[in-house]
Amino acid sequence: MLENTPADGRQGWHGACFATEADQHRESGTMPVAIADRPIDTVREEVIDQLVLNYGHDKLSLDAFERRLEEALDTSEHARLEALVADLDLKSDPKYQAKKRQQLYVDDDPSGLEDTEYIVNVFSGSERSGPWSVPGELRVITLMGGTDIDFSSAEFTSRTVRVKLLCVMGGIDIKVPEGVNVSVKAFCIFGGISNKARGRHDPDAPTIIIEGVVLFGGADVKVKVKKKTNKERLLRFADDVKAMFDELGV
């Protein structure tokens, strides 16, 4: 458990912060935005962070954590998300966010991985999916064929991934996981690209930059929601956080 917590509640230890949102806004001279007016994805992410941190500090049992995490992933109601953490006092701080970046988003040790890979389909088709390591650059050549690339279960080894396309009279489908930034800079001639990935930028998440040429063809970029995979990934991360705090004796 946490020790030596100052009486004013403004200092936290080992990834925990006791300062309330009202305290923070009072110090900065701003008023908090009503939770109903905030982006639902941002609120959900903050709630999940708070659940993980409180579970890590033994404020929640495993059953309670799993139940609340499941509901946080399912609900689209601001008030319901707020209620899931109304009785929890610990909030994330930079130490927790650093641990989260390290565990959830990017493996910064790409040893043994080729920095550039090719996917070539000429009068044919292929699919890249399941668990796989994403290189720093992926070059996709599709000529009168089809290519499916699924990043939803992939391991990112770089914060920025460039996907360079050459699509001629063919089609390319790209599926990305929730939370990944996507930027499309491709040039289309008698073709098109549909980008349905999120627009907001998260500096902690990987960024996929899609560029190249689409000629008499099409490319489709969309988010693939995998609730079960996200839950399993968050559960593993929560267990890592708990183990870290147990080792520190907090």
Is 181 in the same domain as 202? Answer: yes
142 strand-pairing partners? 121, 167
Residue 114 confidence (pLDDT): 57
Q: Residue type at 209?
A: I
Q: How confident is the model at residue 13 (pLDDT cuts 50, 70, 90)?
A: very low
pLDDT of residue 200 exceeding 70: no
User: Using CA atoms, how far apart are residues 68 and 123, in angstroms rounded to an integer?
Assistant: 49
Q: Is residue 183 part of a domain?
A: yes
Q: Is residue 13 part of a domain?
A: no
Is 82 in the same domain as 51? Answer: yes
Q: Give residues with Cβ within 8 angstroms of 115, minimum separation 6.
A: 135, 136, 137
Q: Report residue 73 as tokens.
A: 């992933």
Q: Is residue 184 part of a domain?
A: yes
Q: Is 147 exposed, middle or buried (CB count within 10 Å of its CB: 0-12, 13-18, 19+)?
A: buried
Q: Which of 27-41, 45-59, 188-202 has the highest mean pLDDT?
A: 45-59
H or E stretch including 19?
A: none
Q: How confident is the model at residue 21 (pLDDT cuts 50, 70, 90)?
A: low
Is 234 in the same domain as 219? Answer: no
pLDDT of residue 154 exceeding 60: yes
Q: Report residue 128 as tokens.
A: 């890249």
Range of the domain at 218: 116-223
Is 233 in the same domain as 162? Answer: no
Is 172 in the same domain as 192? Answer: yes
Report the pLDDT averaged over residues 235-241: 81
Q: Is residue 4 part of a domain?
A: no
Q: Is residue 127 part of a domain?
A: yes
Tell me if the pTM is above 0.85: no
User: Using CA atoms, how far apart are residues 77 and 124, in angstroms rounded to an integer?
Assistant: 45
Q: Report residue 33 as tokens.
A: 């935005």
Q: Is residue 243 part of a domain?
A: yes
Q: Is residue 5 part of a domain?
A: no
Residue 123 confidence (pLDDT): 96
Residue 115: CB atoms within 10 Å? 10
Higher-pLDDT residue of 190 and 244 is: 190
Of 11-15, 36-40, 170-174, 193-197, minimum mean pLDDT range: 11-15
Number of domains, the chain? 2
Residue 31 confidence (pLDDT): 67
User: Strands 155-156, 181-184: parallel, antiparallel or unpaired by DSSP?
Assistant: unpaired
Q: Residue type at 168?
A: V
pLDDT of residue 158 exceeding 50: yes
Q: How confident is the model at residue 107 (pLDDT cuts 50, 70, 90)?
A: low
DSSP state at residue 109 = -
Is 101 in the same domain as 50? Answer: yes
Write out pLDDT tens, residues 129-146. 988 989 999 999 999 999
Block residue for tokens 């200092």: 11
Report the pLDDT averaged over residues 29-53: 84
How many Cα neighbours within 13 Å face the side chain of 72?
A: 26
Percent of the chain's residues with pLDDT above 90: 39
pLDDT of residue 155 exceeding 90: no
